[in-house]
Amino acid sequence: MKKTIGVAALAMLAFNSVASGNSIVLPESESQRLIAGNLSMTAESFFKAYMSTDLEQRRLAEMYVLGVIDSSEGDSWCGFEIASPDAIQEQVYTGLKKALDESPKERASAVIKSRLKELLPCKVEQ
């Protein structure tokens, strides 16, 4: 079951591809569904796409963010019930901006999860 979920999660990232320079590169053909480079996108390259003036790049970046926050909620952080989507998006931006100065080569997904965990940690039951 875990393997099936993992494959499904990877398939969700299928339309994204390797971040190159200032953008997320689209697959070369419709038959190219998964590009492993998406799994290790740096904070630096991701932030460029996230802040791009190209609407398609921003949409792909926001879909990436949605995938990270959805897949990590409850494990890395808790908060949809206490934080609005706008507040979460603001914290993602803040975390990425901070990472540009401190660790631009860190994985974008790790930066996003770390920021949310820092601000919206799950309460530990005793």
User: Could you give the CA distance from residue 47 to residue 58 in angstroms, rounded to a whole number?
Assistant: 10
Kindly write down the DSSP assignment for every residue of 39-84, as one continuous string: GG-BHHHHHHHHT-S-HHHHHHHHHHHHHHHHHHBTTTB--TTTS-
60 within some domain:
yes
- What per-residue confidence (pLDDT) applies to 32? 56
Summarize pLDDT for 28-39 with one digit per residue, the tens.
Answer: 766 655 555 566
- What per-residue confidence (pLDDT) applies to 119? 84
Domain count, the chain: 1
Q: Which residue has the higher pLDDT, 12 or 28?
A: 28
Summarize pLDDT for 56-111 with one digit per residue, the tens.
Answer: 888 888 988 988 988 888 887 887 777 788 888 899 999 999 999 999 999 999 99
Average pLDDT over the chain reads: 76
Q: Which residue range is the domain that position 44 belongs to?
A: 2-119
The DSSP code for 36 is G
CATH at residue 77: 1.10.890.40
